Amino acid sequence: MADQTPAVGPSPGRIALRRMLAHRSFALGVSVLLVMTLMAIFAPLIAPHDPYATDLTQRLLPPFWHDDSVPEHILGTDKVGRDYLSRLIYGARVSLAIGVLAVLLSGLIGTVLGVAAGYFGGKVDAVVTYLIGTRLSLPLFLVALAVVAMFGSSLTIVILVLGLFLWDQFAVVMRSVTKQIRSQDYVRAARAAGASHMRILWREILPNVREPLLVVATVEMANAIILEASLSFLGFGVQAPLPSWGLMLSDAREFMFFDPWLLTIPGCALFALLLAINLTGDGLRDVTGRGGVLR
Amino acid sequence: MLKEIRLDGVKAVLGAGALALVTAFGTSDAMAGPDDDTLRIAWGATGPIDNLDAYFNTNRTGIWFARNVWDTLVFRNLDEGTYEPLLATGWSFPDDTTLDLTLREGVVFHNGEPFDADDVVYTLNFIADPENGVLTRGNVDWIENAERTGPYSVRVHMTRPMPQIFEILSGPIVIYPNEYYAEVGPEGMNRMPVGTGPYRVTEVQPTQRYTLERNPDYTWGSPKGEASIGTLVIREIADVQTQVAELLGGGIDFTADISADQLDQITGLPGFSGAQSETMRISYLGFDAAGRSGFEPTQNPMVREAIARAVNRKAISENLVRGDSRVVNTPCFPTQFGCDEDAAVIWDFDPEAARALLAEAGYPDGFEIEIYNYRSSSWAEAIIADLAEIGIAANLNQMGYFALRDLQHEGRTPLYLMDWGSFSINDMSAITSRFFTLGPDDFAQDEELAAWLETGDSSPDPATREEAYAKAIARITERLYWLPMFSHVRNYAFVEGLEFKGFVDEIPRFYAYSWR
């Protein structure tokens, strides 16, 4: 924390930026993530074809590195003749939307519970600890199966299931960080000055849990994305024909021995996205000095 | 209808993985089949056989198993289209609801029990009794009871005239040994099936693995012929990719669960052969015309017509099902008795007309609909893309067969892509009457239609039956309770050296196979 800034020299923001740029894996992660995010946002402008448009006469065309590839489908086509590149680009939307929205939801739940437990302690802490324990005892796939059986499966359901499920890490980390902070002098000072709990939480606690929160968020985002892919792969996730990388992998199984590119392309995309998110998270931890060694 | 796929069509592109598998394991193990006279079979993509007792499963593979282990009273000669003696050597009908059977002498069951009238009487009376809970009631509910009229003669009293009786007697009705079955029941029959058929069962690991050996006593001149291959080892493998991996790696010699795409690819590899045949199974797009799900649009005939005109059945049949699959316009398979193609109203692919119809029906901007599917999602996805063209946003609900069937019985499916294989019974009653006689699968709830089908099912006069069935076909296709889609194909892949023999009714007779 740069709370003692010298009068002259670079501002704290610039220092952080410089550190970030010097941290190579962080820079790499952020760049890939940025590219994927832009790809997702501008998918309609970038994608060469409609990702839903089928052409049954043009199915299973190979990608460009094969001799009999077709120039208008650089990455080939899938089992019903949809352009693979376009589906890959739109798939980034699904993955990122699920990652971001599920993490927003679970982050909100986890932070509220964790901060409350850490700050108030006592009975509140006991209740929250109990909730965390309960949550950890529930197997995600069993719950997902039950939810799909009851409500069917859709993008919204997947986001809700993951969002309502992945808050435990947030709660655990927020609880322990808040516990540390609440005994800090500035919190005590605020309390002595007569500040209300709300004010202390809002002005003193929350700003100081921001970095660990971000680090947990990146880990959980990667987790949510891989879980969506797994759920969709097993048929409990989003439904076809929505372009999801997990679904693309699932569809490709039938062809894995003979058209392995159908499997490798979405697999590599998923790998790159998860790697980028994890590199970003690690880098964030490093450059903010929270829980890691400064470079 | 059936064709052998030869090796000269080797595909230019071979998957690296497949080739690696073959080169790694294929050469030595794959040849093990002929060497130890054992055919290793994998099946089970739609689930393992719940109970090997033929009356207590509804699996397609249950029929396959039954044909090889048990015998029926009558043999259906598929090539000639005739019925020949099997366990019964003669039959006559003193009246419309009585059947006299003369039985074959000199047949023995696998456990040594000799076959006689007591076995037939016990089996027929057992399956006719509703208390015993035979799963497919339609196959047995025509039997009132059976009585012994001599050591090798039996009289069967029927509850109603049964015009398609020989389809039933040559298909689902297999004969059990009375002493053994009385002692062990369906549970024991599952643990160790005993029949008179060309293969006898020597080992059963329920829902996993069955070992069958050639029946040395099958020498009494059965029209099925004696088995050639010594041992069959059948493994239930639910995942088709695992089956393919096992085939390529030499773990199995035969699979019938693969897609046409996989067939092309496997037969492109050295050491493997394949075959494909059209089956009696047809897919259909079903509409909730009666409004059981409460969904408005499908109750409107114009909407159903719009959907029927929007779906490019030919493209799906030719490009996705492939092979010998063809567009079917009747709510039954064209070879089935009564399935008159001329009676059907044919809906040609015409998206322009579909759009106009939809607007006329009051949905110029289309609507959202839930479509249900349990088989290959490619077919449903192609339909969804076709519907999107005319502005209908269809959401896919992909689920397992039994889950979907339960939803249907609850009446919750406005639009569904389903299929039916008729138990390979070459008679329209096995499909159309099952779905349109006001039962839980009936989304038309058309009483007039049900009455016609009832007439068709029970009238002894073929002309009356045909006429009633033709009316039913016209009604179903005109009002579009179903849009009949296409016929299915069965794709077989196996090791080279197996003399495969295909049958048009989707039932592999392993007793007819041999090693080259």
- Please determine, for residue B10, whether its predicted confidence score (pLDDT) is greater than 80: no
Among B259, B317, B379, B381, the residue to mutate for chain A (most A Cβ within 10 A):
B381
Sort out which chain B residues have CB atoms less than 8 A from A257's CB and list them.
Answer: 15, 17-18, 21, 241, 244-245, 248, 265
> Which residue type sits at B76?
R
Alpha-carbon distance of A60 to A79, in angstroms, equals: 5
Provide, rounded to the nearest whole percent, the portion of chain B with pLDDT above 70: 94
Q: Tell me what pLDDT residue A290 has.
A: 54
Q: Tell me what pLDDT residue A294 has.
A: 34
How far is residue A118 from each of residues A127, A168, A212, A219, measured CA to CA in Å? 12, 14, 14, 21
What pLDDT, in 10s, does the model give residues B150-180?
A: 999 999 999 999 888 999 999 999 999 999 9
What pLDDT, in 10s, does the model give residues B420-445?
A: 988 888 899 999 999 999 999 999 99
B126 compared with A149, residue with greater pLDDT: B126
Burial of B385 (0-12, 13-18, 19+ CB in 10 A): buried
Which ipTM score applies to this complex? 0.78
Q: Tell me what pLDDT residue A14 has.
A: 78
Q: Tell me what pLDDT residue B189 has.
A: 96
What pLDDT, in 10s, does the model give residues B198-208?
A: 999 999 999 99
Contact B107, B99 (CB under 8 A): no
Q: Tell me what pLDDT residue B399 has.
A: 82
**Residue among B191, B195, B186 nearest B203 (CA):** B191
Alpha carbon of B246: minimum distance to chain A alpha carbons (Å): 12
When CB atoms are compared, the residue of B18, B381, B384 closest to A257 is: B18
Token pair, residue A228, equals 């969506």
Alpha-carbon distance of B382 to A79, in angstroms, equals: 10
Number of helices and strands in chain A (H, E): 13, 0
Instruction: Judge whether A10 is closer than 8 Å to chain B, CB to CB.
Output: no
Look at B381 and A54 and tell me if their CB atoms are within 8 Å: yes
Q: What is the pTM of this model?
A: 0.82
The residue with tokens 């309609």 is A44
> Which residue type sits at A26?
F
Alpha-carbon distance of B260 to B253, in angstroms, equals: 18
Greatest CA span in chain B, whole angstroms? 72
Name residues of chain A where pLDDT drops below 70. 1-9, 289-295
Alpha carbon of B403: minimum distance to chain A alpha carbons (Å): 9
Give the torsion sign (CA, B345, B350, B356, B361): positive
Helical ranges in B231-319 per DSSP H: 240-249, 260-267, 301-310, 313-316
How far is residue B206 from each of residues A150, B111, B262, measured CA to CA in Å? 31, 20, 28
Alpha-carbon distance of B462 to B466, in angstroms, equals: 6
